[in-house]
Amino acid sequence: MNLLSLPILLPLFSGAVLLLLPKRALRTLMALIAAILTLLVDLSILRTVLRGEVMVLQMSNWPAPWGISLVADGLTGIMLALSGLIALLTVMFASSSLAHEPRRGQSKTLNQLRERFGFQALLQFLIMGVNMSFLTGDLFNLFVAFEVMLISSYGLLLIGNELPQLREGFKYVVVNLLASAVFVVAAGMMYGLVGTLNMADISVKIAEYSSSHGADARLSLLAMMLALVFATKAAVFPLGFWLPSAYPVPVAAASAFFAALLTKVGVYSLIRTFTLLFPQEQLIHTILLVLAAFSMLVGAFGMISQSRWRHTLAFANISSIGYLLMGVFTTGSAGMTGALYYLIHTVLVIFCLFLIAALGEKIAGLKYTVEGHLNSYPWLGIAYFASALALAGIPPSSGFIAKYSLISASLRAGGTVNNWVAAAAVITGLLLLYATVEIWRGFFWGESHAVHKVVLPRGMTTTTVFSLALVISLAVFSGPIYKLAQRTAEQLMTNEAYTKAVLVEVKTPRIGDPALPTDELEEDTH
């Protein structure tokens, strides 16, 4: 079961080596090899957990509530596989833009000067943080994983040193620091209240306590604080104000990775918190469901208001977070199934759209208001058309399957709130269609005025086509993938398999027991 530590250790090791390698070609090679190896490890973990097994690794063999445990169930397996795929594609995209842009340029893709500031190494550390937050079974370790991820993302956001990056970077760092402060105090209070930080142990103890004592305001407060933190990271409507201006400023490859995965880490943590730790806090579930509806609508309206590629797509990201939370907080496993299918769909589609946006920016600058590019770049047009259909949820695409299952689950769950949220989801679908058609009309349609054709680097177009193929294959293989989502959702509905696998043969520790090792091994994460 040592396999579970590899998605963390491989990026850590390769990131450290990448800082030392002197030649650019060597760095590119090393980053590619690391990404491929991590993907292979992720896929083998996914294969094991798909059998319904929960993999557990107790660090240094300390038994569960005292040591840090790494846990992989179905959800973790899916998230790890997605992160491995996106990481490999990001490294390919970033590396292929280097040959094309040798010097300092005004374009927003990675050039050789920017790469020298440790882009590849920071990307590896970011992947390490993302994988660690998917794998960890310990609340405080989750905080550490978030910090590893955030600090690398600060670096990636600032590579390029332009004024918008400095300005948005400052806001991004301040917002995330405040959220982290709330997170760390919530972890401290959780320890003071429950006496443990192991998530499986917390889950068992809270379930025991609330079955004997009923609702407790202190537990609700803790759930609120964690919801606040993770909703800020996931950019849920009132807390996501930082996202639309922050995600368009870094280099193209970095912002594609951010948009595809970083907000989903917040969603993953929300799923974990409210299925494993606080399944009984119905009021907070309802609040987040209402906020999900607002996120969808605000994201779609924001898309319509923008005229720059990545600003528009950043709002699309917010609206997709709304759809995800709608499924997560609809009661029953049908909603969760839809959410998991939508999760796989939206990671791939948003990533593909950000790559298309990077190519579009290369052709005609940050805005998509110069028309008539369909003749010169037919393949880009086709790629955009297919992924825009998937984003809006038009029938042959995977987006339709995802949204259909989300909305039907919400309607079947019944109740006023659910019906209104379903209505918001339908309206948002129409608004998204309008917004994507607006890009089509602005950039691809119409008569061409361009003097010469921009040569798009082959590596970048290949990567885009490859991620487009992933989006399309999601629709083609929707049967097996939907079944996978269904099984994972059912696994999430009961915590027993998870907690049993983590807490093997350990008597519930009593506080005040003499000579019990309480060391949490936080030292090795400093």
Partner 1 sequence: MEILLPFLAASLVGAGVFMVLSRALIRVIIGLSLISYGINIAILLAGAGTGLAAPPLLDVEGPYVDPLPQALILTAIVIGFGTTALLLVLSLRAYQATGTDHVQELTKKPDPVEVLGSYADPERPSISPEYGPAEKRVKDNKQS
For partner 1, the binding residues (CB under 8 A) are 106, 140, 144, 147, 151, 154, 158, 161-164, 166-167, 169-170, 173-174, 177-178, 180-181, 184-185, 187-189, 191-193, 195, 197, 361-367, 369-370, 449-452, 454, 511-520, 522-523, 525-526
Quote the least distance from Cβ 268 to partner 1, whole Å.
21
CB nearer partner 1, residue 505 or residue 524: 524
Q: In whole angstroms, give the CA distance from residue 202 to residue 193.
A: 10
Q: Give the shortest CB-248-to-partner 1 separation in angstroms.
A: 11
Task: State which residue, 505 or 513, has the beta carbon closest to partner 1.
Answer: 513
H/E element, 56: strand 55-58
> Which segments within 59-188 are labelled E, that is strand?
69-72
Q: Calculate helix-pair angle for 282-305, 416-439, nearest 10 degrees.
A: 20
For residues 177 and 215, which CB has a smaller minimum distance to partner 1 in the complex?
Answer: 177
Specify the DSSP class assigned to residue 273: I
| Least CB distance to partner 1 at residue 125 (A) | 13
Nearer to partner 1, 78 or 142 (CB): 142
Cβ neighbours of 101 (radius 10 Å):
18
Nearest distance, CB of residue 242 and partner 1, angstroms: 13
Task: Tell me how far apart the alpha carbons of residues 8 and 129 are, in angstroms, rounded to a whole number.
Answer: 8
Q: Of 143 and 342, which CB lies nearer to partner 1 in the complex structure?
A: 143
Residue 393 CA to residue 34 CA, distance in Å, equals 35
Smallest gap from Cβ 413 to partner 1, in A, equals 37
Nearest residue to 276 (alpha-carbon basis) of 7, 513, 498: 498
Please list, residue by residue across 60-97, b when 16 or more beta carbons sit within 10 angstroms of its beta carbon and e when fewer do. Answer: eeeebbbbbbbbbbbbbbbbbbbbbbbbbbbbbbbbbb
Residues 187, 141: Cα–Cα separation, whole Å: 10
- Closer CB to partner 1, 210 or 245, in the complex: 245
Measured distance CA(444)–CA(360) in Å, rounded: 10
**Nearby residues of 452 by Cβ (< 8 Å), 6 or more positions away:** none
Q: Are 71 and 502 in contact (CB under 8 A)?
A: yes
Of residues 77 and 442, the one with the C-beta less far from partner 1? 442
Q: What's 71's DSSP letter?
A: E
Least separation, in Å, of the C-beta of 518 and partner 1? 5
Q: How far is the CB of 450 from partner 1 (least distance, A)?
A: 6
Task: Quote the least distance from Cβ 369 to partner 1, whole Å.
Answer: 4
Which CB sits closer to partner 1, 201 or 520?
Answer: 520
Return the H-helix or E-strand segment holding 490: helix 478-493
| Nearest distance in Å: CB 59, partner 1 | 15
Write the DSSP symbol of residue 198. B
Query: Please, what is the minimum distance in Å from the beta carbon of residue 308 to partner 1?
Result: 9
Distance (Å, rounded) from C-alpha 247 to C-alpha 259?
A: 7
Cβ pair 31, 120 in contact under 8 A = yes
**Shortest Cβ distance from residue 172 to partner 1 (Å)?**
10
334: which residues sit within 8 A by CB, 6+ positions away?
Answer: 405, 408, 409, 412, 413, 489
Structure tokens at 275: 């299925």
Nearest to 222 by CA among 194, 190, 180, 181: 190
Place of tokens 């609809």: 330
Q: Which is nearer to partner 1, 78 or 149 (CB)?
A: 149
Among residues 40 and 177, whose Cβ is nearest to partner 1?
A: 177
Which residue lies nearer to partner 1 by CB, 5 or 180?
Answer: 180
